[in-house]
Amino acid sequence: MYRTHTCGELRIEDSNKEVTLSGWVQRVRDLGAMTFIDLRDRYGITQLVIDENTPEGLSSKIEEMGREFVIQAKGIVRERSSKNKNIPTGEIEITLSGLVVLGPAITPPFTIQDDTDGGDELRMKYRYLDLRRQEVQQNMVLRAKMAHATRSYLNSLDFIETETPVLIKSTPEGARDFIVPSRMNPREFYALPQSPQVFKQLLMVAGFDKYYQIVKCFRDEDLRADRQPEFTQIDCEMSFVEQKDVLETFEGLTKHLFREIKNIEVEDFPWMPYSEAIEKYGSDKPDTRFEMLIHDLTDVLKGNNFVVFDSAEYIGGLCAIGCGSYSRKQLDGLTNWVKRPQIGAKGLVYVKCNEDGTFKSSVDKFYSQDDLKKWANVFNAQPGDLILVLSGDKPAMQSALGELRLEMGNQLGLLDKNTFKPLWVVDFPLLEWDEEGQRFHAMHHPFTAPKPEDISLLDTDPGKARANAYDLVINGVEIGGGSVRIFDSGLQLKMFDLLGFTPEQADAQFGFLMNAFKYGAPPHAGIAFGFDRLVSLFAGLDSIRDVIAFPKNNSGRDVMIDSPSEVAKEQLDELALQLKK
Amino acid sequence: MYRTHTCGELRIEDSNKEVTLSGWVQRVRDLGAMTFIDLRDRYGITQLVIDENTPEGLSSKIEEMGREFVIQAKGIVRERSSKNKNIPTGEIEITLSGLVVLGPAITPPFTIQDDTDGGDELRMKYRYLDLRRQEVQQNMVLRAKMAHATRSYLNSLDFIETETPVLIKSTPEGARDFIVPSRMNPREFYALPQSPQVFKQLLMVAGFDKYYQIVKCFRDEDLRADRQPEFTQIDCEMSFVEQKDVLETFEGLTKHLFREIKNIEVEDFPWMPYSEAIEKYGSDKPDTRFEMLIHDLTDVLKGNNFVVFDSAEYIGGLCAIGCGSYSRKQLDGLTNWVKRPQIGAKGLVYVKCNEDGTFKSSVDKFYSQDDLKKWANVFNAQPGDLILVLSGDKPAMQSALGELRLEMGNQLGLLDKNTFKPLWVVDFPLLEWDEEGQRFHAMHHPFTAPKPEDISLLDTDPGKARANAYDLVINGVEIGGGSVRIFDSGLQLKMFDLLGFTPEQADAQFGFLMNAFKYGAPPHAGIAFGFDRLVSLFAGLDSIRDVIAFPKNNSGRDVMIDSPSEVAKEQLDELALQLKK
């Protein structure tokens, strides 16, 4: 038996027991007459003591030992003379009577502690050591707990967790598929699913009524900080429901998770139409932890011979409370910030609301104090506030104002990681016009149903049609999204037509789904949560990488196992494939 | 709102309520004055009634309706005059006041009922309709329940469910990998995992202590009835444990599942050494629902001038109780059965134990009644029993006797699907000699530790070394297997050497694991259960296909979505691949 207790288990009540512990050497402190060893496992840290009573021979063993050695230690539990109130085992220590080195360790490339000295690349290469750090390990425990709480909640509502296949069929729609050559069917390929979308809809046709799955999905995209080629979804679908039923159920799930995992009661989630989110927050992922709403100033500001504004399609602004004292340097900084290509504004107009009730703006030449007073009134700006205005192309400037709003929120310390503000964004447009391809794309996906009252728009002005689609947004992060689905093969075919599929293409790609609808399809709707993002939100982290046990880097590489890698020519031969030069 | 209740919910207590149900039309019975409709959903069946009181207009709608239409029905709950005791809703019916067709249905290609008229291929093509059949749907519900019960049990023991990557690195060992070309890293490939073996061992090195995952694995093998290219494992690993700890934990899991799911208390699982399983059952997957043990007759039967036996390496037999009355034709049938290439015996010798205490054998020329009496004594055979004997090459004949034993068990009706006899098979050989390749293979996998007392055999007689490996077998089905792992990079390197890896090859393939062991590895051991097999055992099914929502056929094809399929040339170009003619 390697241990009688874990390293997090012993208490003052266990005094005088003979115990055996196993774990990693966190550190050795040699104080001359006494030596202390902190022994660590997943459950905690226990202090071992070597003193003048320790049997001969043990001391020499200890001299050979360094940090991260795996040892088995035997001894008696004693009350400590100087207690450590910071750890649950801090009242006791073990006076050592026996020690076995189970696994010696060479010096690790970085320190195994919260404030490690290891850089990102090094920690990824030695991920199995990085995962020893309590901080990282706790993220994985959090992830496991959240998955379990999710399952408990959905099981209690009679959802059936159903596994859908990983080897499916390639579809050209949307992001790129990973493909998998078939040996048994040479020159043919499976694809890895970007989501189980079609299968969960088929499960509804099959009468499963309520489906869920916590499932890996795959997307061969160029990666950003919060993207991974494989990621995990809480994927769900329900039959005989309307939008509000889905939203209620998954608002319930979200509240359940906040309650179970973080002991937080969150308020009912507001519903915000997409158009309002864009108007007021410059984003379909509004961060509602703070106000600082965007206002449309186009009508108020035009007509003062300021050509920049007069020629602009859109003028919008926001009011940063208490920033009226920003220095020239700070304002220049902001101006440069909005002019970066990622933001894309041409310039920044500001109005300082002075403490004496006057205004100082960068456009004083064109606007009188009375004019500026009107601007201030739009925002109900008070002395000491700062109004920031952008102008130009409408969607671009709305988006830029959205970014500026977040930046100002950040500068003002309003992005509190311990505040959680969930909301539903609803009434998304059904279609998105692609200038380059001169065609419509599905905003959500091609199976999303238009709002019944907008179906006639499909014939007259499809770009105006709204979808029964919804996103869950928390603190500016899109946690999940879904839609009511089309369940009529005729309407589905019309959607494919709008998206530029010929009937033959639609049939080749999705024939089995449209066919399935012909055999009695129930009304259905669904949603998927990005599980990695949800966990990283709960963990207070910015990147999903830290909540994935073995993540890939921005080139899609696992630097620990050195993958992807070359394969043998014989392997390719068997698959009837060859590499192109 | 599409429904107020499900089709399995209403009871006599709900009489006179106005309700709305939605579901599929199971059948319509037009009795002239009255029409009955069975409305079905996942939860049950409720009877709708149309009689002379039904509003005008409804009747014509009903005439257009066929089976599998999805409808919404409104009406009043009434007590039935003739009750159906077979279904929970059998005491009530709904007198119809309103009806909406939600999804019309063309005639399905087979009937949606337990005894369907649809053949295998047709049901696979229309799997979404096959999944409507209660029998098939219940298998999926069983699967979901078993997964949840598994998680609850392992969570209660502090296991952390941790997701390991699906895009990993190809390794030439064992079965074939599916490979996935990388676009971002052209001419390089990921592989899909045959198991998370290496990652779970790294999690142990990372101090996770107890890991599990219910996880998809992939194997590009030619398929048999109980194999699928993607399958699901309950995958586990534990640190600071010995073999008995793992066996106790997973015997506990198995008992928990029998208790929770089938309300069965199973006895403690016996441990049977591999050698005994082969000796007595002719298989490392002994079906212990019945005795009929194989006995080695080599010493007893040789030396009577019967050249077949005298020249045989091994003679073995079994005794089929009560089969002494088998006819000539039945015995010829058995003889032909054992001579089939799959069984591979040259012939079958029998001894009938007559009711009068005499014996009748197929080798009376060589063996006297006294000789045959000795045979009978080996088995303690009684009048009316039948002794069957095979001879030849030892491993081949042991295996053939194992098959014959199962066949006789089947003929005698001893393979009761409601009896469950689990056992642990232990002490497997570490290595298996491959005549063709003239090299050793790992019997379990290359990370399995030899028994400590057998380590010295690795230098002298590696084929004799036993492993700390174990299988869970229930009713002749291998449900799971695992082993104590090597956690010393030196011993691991020695294993790779025995398996014919050069140090360079070992390093290229598993360098990161052996490297990891250098930073302090704990003793660890693990196990994986074949989840599909476990569910099919619980469901009383012979094939795993019926417990998989969307299985593939024996050519690895999903005939419903028609996958694998060709991909566009542009897609291959992006991956720097081309097809070979």
* Torsion angle of the four alpha carbons B437, B443, B445, B446, in this order, in degrees rounded to the nearest 10: -60
3-state secondary structure string, A109-149? CCCCCCCCCCCHHHHHHCHHHHCCCHHHHHHHHHHHHHHHH
Domain check: are A151 and A234 in the same one? yes
Question: Least CA distance to A71: which residue of chain B?
Answer: B522
Residue recorded with tokens 């060859």:
A578
Question: Best interface-test mutation with A: which of B163, B216, B241, B575 has the largest number of A CBs within 10 A?
Answer: B163
Q: What CA–CA distance (Å, rounded) separates A247 from B248? A: 44
Look up the CATH number of the domain holding residue A378. Answer: 3.30.1360.30
Cα atoms in the Cβ-side hemisphere of radius 13 Å centred on A296: 14
**Contact call for B167 and A178, based on CB within 8 A:** yes
**Which residues make Cβ contacts (< 8 Å) with residue B276, sequence separation at least 6?**
none
Would you give the distance in Å from CA B270 to the centre of its chain?
A: 21
Taking 3-state DSSP, the helix, strand and coil percentages for chain B, each rounded to the nearest 5, stand at 30, 25, 40
Any domain includes B241:
yes
In chain A, residues with a C-beta closer than 8 Å to the C-beta of B6 are 209
| Same domain flag for B493 and B399 | no
Whether residues A243 and A334 fall in one domain: no
Other beta carbons less than 10 A from residue A456's beta carbon? 11
A210-218/A160-161 β-pairing: parallel
A149 within a domain of the structure (yes/no): yes
Asked whether A37 and A47 are in contact (CB, 8 A), the reply is yes
Residues in chain B with CB shorter than 8 Å from the CB of A227 are none
Helix (H, G, I), strand (E, B) or coil at A19: strand
Same domain, A475 and A496: yes
pLDDT at B484: 97
Closest Cα partner for A232 from A215, A252, A245, A246?
A: A215
**Residues A530 and A455 both lie in one domain:** yes
Q: Would you give the DSSP letter of residue B285? A: S
- For A203, the token pair is 């499960």
**Domains: count for chain A:** 3
Q: What angle do CA B231, B232, B234 make, to 5 degrees?
A: 150
Tell me whether residue A511 is in a domain: yes
Tens digits of residue pLDDT in A393-424: 999 999 999 999 999 999 999 999 999 999 99
Question: What chain A residue is nearest to B553 in terms of C-alpha separation?
Answer: A184
Q: Residue B271 pairs with which residues in a beta bridge?
A: B424
Contact criterion met (CB below 8 Å) for B203 and B165: no
- Are B406 and B428 part of one and the same domain? no
| 8 Å CB contact between A180 and B229 | no
Using alpha carbons only, what angle is made at residue B392 by residues B389 and B397, rounded to the nearest 5 degrees?
65
Q: What DSSP line would sit under A445-465, residue for residue?
A: -TTBPBPGGGTTHHHH-GGG-
Does B69 reach chain A within 8 Å, measured CB to CB? yes
Q: Which of B5, B128, B518 to mutate to test the interface with A (most CBs of A within 10 A)?
A: B128
Report CB contact under 8 Å: B216, A166: yes
Residues 6+ apart with CB under 8 A from A45: A7, A8, A26, A38, A39, A87, A89
Report residues of chain B scoring pLDDT below 50.
none
Read off the pLDDT of each residue in A438-444 and give the average, rounded to a whole number: 87
Identify the pLDDT of residue A318: 97
| B-chain residue closest to A239, CA distance | B2
Distance CA A200, CA A180 (A): 22
Cα separation, A78 vs A13, in Å, equals: 10
Q: How confident is the model at residue A225 (pLDDT cuts 50, 70, 90)?
A: low
**B189 lies in some domain:** no
Say yes or no for a CB contact (<8 Å) between B3 and A240. yes
B295 shares its domain with B244: no
- Dihedral of CA atoms A219, A223, A226, A231 in degrees, nearest 10, equals 20
Residues A397 and A486 in one domain: no
Residue B328, both tokens: 């000539």
Whether A459 maps to a domain, the answer reads yes
Q: Which of A346, A380, A411 is the last residue of a domain?
A: A411
Prediction pTM value: 0.95
pLDDT of residue B380: 96
Placement of tokens 């991260």 in the chain: A68
Pick the closest to residue B69 from B9, B32, B28 (CA basis).
B28
- Which token pair is A201? 């809809």
B2 occurs within a structural domain: no
Decide if A2 and B578 are in contact by the 8 Å CB cutoff.
Answer: no
Residue-wise pLDDT for B301-332, tens only, equals 998 999 999 999 999 999 999 999 999 999 99
Question: Residue A427's domain is classified under what CATH number?
Answer: 3.30.930.10
Which residue out of A37, A240, A505, A566 would a mutagenesis test of the B interface target, given it has the greatest number of B Cβ atoms within 10 Å? A240
Q: Which structure tokens are listed for A132?
A: 């020893």
Query: Where a domain ends, among B88, B103, B118?
Result: B103
Q: Does one domain contain both A465 and A501?
A: yes
Give the pLDDT of residue B490: 85
A148 to chain B, any CB pair closer than 8 A? The answer is yes
Q: Which residues of A touch B139 (CB under 8 A)?
A: none
Within its chain, how far is the Cα of A494 from the centroid? 34
Is residue A257 within 8 Å of residue A149, measured between CB atoms? Answer: yes
Of all residues in chain A, what percent are helix, strand and coil, respectively (each to 5)?
A: 30, 25, 40
Q: Can you give the CATH number for the domain in which A44 is found?
A: 2.40.50.140
Chain A nearest CA to B166, separation (Å): 8
Q: Tokens 């599990």 identify what position?
A: B212
Q: pLDDT band for position A21 (50/70/90)? A: very high
Residues 180-219 of B with CB under 8 A from A: 180-185, 187-192, 198-199, 202-203, 205-209, 216, 218
Q: Is B112 in contact with B69 (CB distance < 8 Å)?
A: no
Q: What's the confidence (pLDDT) of residue B418?
A: 93
Are residues A215 and A313 both part of a single domain? no
Q: Is residue B119 assigned to a domain? A: no
User: What pLDDT does residue A512 have?
Assistant: 85
Closest partner residue to A190 among B106, B548, B563, by Cβ? B563
Please state, in angstroms and rounded to a whole number, the distance separating the CA atoms of residues B253 and B210: 14
At residue A454, the pLDDT reads: 94
- DSSP state for residue A210 in the 8-state scheme: E
**Tell me: the pLDDT tens digits for A280-302?**
999 999 999 999 999 999 999 99
Domain encompassing residue B352: 290-411
In a domain, B41, yes or no: yes
Q: Whole-angstrom Cα distance, residue B326 to residue A286?
A: 81
| A174: pLDDT strictly greater than 60 | no
For residues A239 and A152, membership in a common domain is answered with yes
Distance CA B91, CA A128 (A): 61
A334 plus A390 within the same structural domain: yes
